[in-house]
Structure 1
Amino acid sequence: MEQVAWPAQHDALDEVPPPCASTRLVGHARAVAEMLAIARSGHHAILLDGQHGIGKATAAFHLANALLSGPLPPGDTLPAPRPDAAVHRQIAQGVHPNLIHLTRPQNDKGSGFKTVITVDEVRRVQHFLSMTASADQPRIVIVDPVGDMQRGAANALLKTLEEPPANTLFLLVSHGASGLLPTIRSRCQRVRFETLADADVAAVITHVGGAVAEPDIDRLAALAGGRPRQALTLALYGGGELRDSLDRLFTAPRFDTALAHKLAEVAGARGNDTHNALLREMMAEMLMGRARSAALGGDRRGADRIAAFQQALGVQLRQADAFGLDRKQEFLVATQRVHALMHGG
């Protein structure tokens, strides 16, 4: 069968089908059952809430596929999209007439993507909803993630949520509902998605992760913290090796300047956002792991100190990005500070 051309997306992983093209959803049985119940009730908006990269957008597209393929089948499970079905192929290509997907748009000039969902994107939704709908099919709006919307875009979406057209369903993907406008939250039925068991994460790696050796699959699943996207990112971008290097750096009693420089080169390489994000997240996870260990050992003050340090370090690195500072130097300094903290500095 001819390969479907997926729309370019800001968070695409190399050779991994995006949620719109995925034909398999692993786990989330309870959340899927709740989504189906809400869809059958006729409520116009569902907020799919949970950590980033656990399958929320995939679940949204699977529900859209089922709704646009005919009446929902009975039961609490969603049928998997059929790769050869016209509905699935249209959704995967971003051309289904009854579905619009809002995510960060491409830049107007040059390469790359905008950092937010703009108000112009929400105006596309308003135009989409002003068109005559098919009598037997709903119109579906997927916003992924809703937290990426500019304030003006969020306010524009709110107006549509307040007076939704008939036979319209909004599926709002959220990586943390607490940051949303309360008025948007109040107009949605919230469905909570939890992180997956390691075995389910391993199943996702096996299904779409390419030629990953079996021992590596189990380790990557354990490192991913229940997030399939994180596991795939680790598999595709050498995450296991990066984690080993960080472990060596932070467990050694003396700071290994040469190793730190090698890692900083990776983090600071131009166009290497994925490795930079991976290294930062791993460093944050190691700090939070140390904080949990301190708390479990009865050292609450130490746990609070490490957690506060981790949060402050994250803010500092994000500010460095915003000001265009040297990523390599900022990461190198961060590793020195983390090593000092872990060894009593």
Structure 2
Amino acid sequence: MVSGGGFDPEVFNPRRNNFLEGHATAEKLLLDSWNSGRMHHAWLIGGPPGIGKATLAFRMARFVLTRGLPGEQEMGLFGPPPDPTSLTVDPEGPVSHRVASGGHADLLTIQRTWDEKRRRFKRDLAVEEVRKIAPFLRLTSAEGGWRVVIVDGADQLNSSGQNAILKILEEPPSKTLILLVADNVGALLPTIRSRTRKLALEPLTEAQVRSLLFRYLPDLDDAERTALARLAEGSIGRAIELHTAGGLDLYKAMLGVFDSLPRLDVLGAYAFADATLRGGNEEANWIAVTELIGWWLGRIARAAARGTIPAEVVPGEAALVHRLMQGSHRAGALDRWVEVWENTNHMFAKAESANLDRRQTLMSALARIEAAAG
């Protein structure tokens, strides 16, 4: 499968990315708290993956590291400076450069480590990383201002890691800001949630994802932007990951296999599995195709429940969904689609955890889909 090219991932890296779209309300809450002079010491930024949570956290970190609280700043000729109305700071300023390089002495970032073997971030956030926070906060601020800690993926901590975070939240030093970023806020201890101020970010609109794709991937044509925005369902991060992994090509190839339903083209299915799981991109393709199949099955189940055809991602998809939905009025059709959706996701997860044969797992999933469509 073809991997998307022409994209520099560092442009999208929250450490470097000063641009945020779609979360003006959350930014205003942070600014209002800052301008009040009673900034809460810990914030829990939650919401679906890839919508800008970490980008917002780093925007806030750069802002705080360039300022003191209202009343701490030097008086100007005409009195104190006006309250800031944006978290934006000079992208070419020294703070932005040091944050981008990971070299700001008053900023500590805790995040999942990179798995060189699988070429992706590890699923869990190691407790050893969290234990770096307490010594960092015991140090005097290197620049005489605030110290900021960002924990990206706080919901991936085990109980030991969460308890370590909780101790820090209970007795934070002065002039400390802790920003916890989590996809699944409910996975955190209730005591952590109660000691933080919560910012719940919503998925982006399709128009906002298209706008951001134009910003980061200007060479895409309109049809590709629309298709990626619909596949991403409100996540610019997912849209870019899909493009980089050649996800749109994978999706088209997958629909090509499904086009023969309710009778699966077995030879076409084997060719699809072989093309997906060979070469140097097997790991990325496996992740992409399992996510796409799960997403598509969920879409079919929702369409069966509502009796409506969703907007096409690629041309011709509506006709396929309509053909599958023609049987949705038969007794138990909706239940079958929901069952195959749940079972297929479970099978993919088991294949990952138990290191099962991926090609056989993929063929088994396609067979389940054929049974549901028959």
Shorter-chain TM range is: 0.7 to 0.9
Q: Is the 8 A contact 1:16 1:209 kept in 2?
A: no
How far did 1:263 drift?
3.1
Identity of aligned residues (%): 33
Q: Which residue number in structure 2 is paired with residue 190 of structure 1?
A: 198
How far did 1:259 drift?
2.9
Q: Unmatched 5+ residue regions in structure 1?
A: 1-11
Alignment of 1:106-145 (within 5 A): 106=114, 114-133=122-141, 136-145=144-153
Aligned partners of 1:216 and 1:74: how far apart in 2?
42
Alignment of 1:31-110 (within 5 A): 31-40=26-35, 41-71=38-68, 74=83, 77-79=86-88, 81-106=89-114
Q: Which residue number in structure 2 is paired with residue 23 of structure 1?
A: 18
Aligned partners of 2:59 and 2:50: how far apart in 1?
16
Q: 1:39 to 1:305 in 2, by over 3 A?
A: farther
Q: Is the 8 A contact 2:340 2:368 kept in 1?
A: no
- Higher mean displacement: 241-250 or 44-53: 241-250
Identify which of 282, 287, 296 aligns with 2:292: 282
Q: Is the 8 A contact 2:118 2:283 kept in 1?
A: no
* Deviation readout 1:161-198 (Å, 9 max, x if unpaired): 11111111111111011111111111111111111111
* Amino acid in the other structure paired with 1:47: L
Q: Is the 8 A contact 2:42 2:178 kept in 1?
A: yes
Q: Which residue number in structure 2 is paired with residue 159 of structure 1?
A: 167
* Amino acid in the other structure paired with 2:305: A
- Higher mean displacement: 156-165 or 66-75: 66-75
What is the aligned-residue RMSD (CA, Å)? 2.7
Q: Unmatched 5+ residue regions in structure 2?
A: 1-6, 70-81, 308-327
SS at match of 1:218: helix
Q: Is the 8 A contact 1:38 1:46 kept in 2?
A: no
* Deviation readout 1:211-268 (Å, 9 max, x if unpaired): 3223312222222111101111222222222111222222322212233223323543
Aligned partners of 1:13 and 1:116: how far apart in 2?
26
* Amino acid in the other structure paired with 1:274: A
SS at match of 1:171: strand
Q: Is the 8 A contact 1:29 1:77 kept in 2?
A: no
SS at match of 2:113: coil
Aligned partners of 1:111 and 1:222: how far apart in 2?
26
Q: Which residue number in structure 2 is paired with residue 246 of structure 1?
A: 254
SS at match of 1:51: coil
Identify which of 226, 249, 256 aligns with 2:234: 226
* Deviation readout 1:114-158 (Å, 9 max, x if unpaired): 432112111111111111125752111111111121221111111
1:311 aligns with 2:333: no
Q: 1:110 to 1:190 in 2, by over 3 A?
A: closer
SS at match of 1:173: strand
Aligned partners of 2:266 and 2:32: how far apart in 1?
56
1:205 aligns with 2:213: yes
Q: Is the 8 A contact 2:106 2:143 kept in 1?
A: no
How far did 1:109 drift?
10
SS at match of 2:15: helix
1:336 aligns with 2:367: yes
* TM-score using structure 1 length: 0.87
SS at match of 2:355: coil
Q: 1:71 to 1:141 in 2, by over 3 A?
A: same
Q: Is the 8 A contact 1:27 1:200 kept in 2?
A: yes
How far did 1:50 drift?
0.5
Structure with greater Cα Rg: 2
Q: Is the 8 A contact 1:25 1:58 kept in 2?
A: yes
Q: Is the 8 A contact 2:228 2:239 kept in 1?
A: yes
Aligned partners of 2:252 and 2:119: how far apart in 1?
33
Q: 1:301 to 1:33 in 2, by over 3 A?
A: farther
* Amino acid in the other structure paired with 1:23: N
* Amino acid in the other structure paired with 1:324: N
* Amino acid in the other structure paired with 1:201: V
Q: Is the 8 A contact 1:264 1:328 kept in 2?
A: yes
Q: 1:107 to 1:257 in 2, by over 3 A?
A: closer
How far did 1:16 drift?
4.5
- Higher mean displacement: 247-256 or 50-59: 247-256
Q: 1:107 to 1:54 in 2, by over 3 A?
A: closer
How far did 1:105 drift?
2.2
Q: Which residue number in structure 1 is paired with residue 271 of structure 2?
A: 262
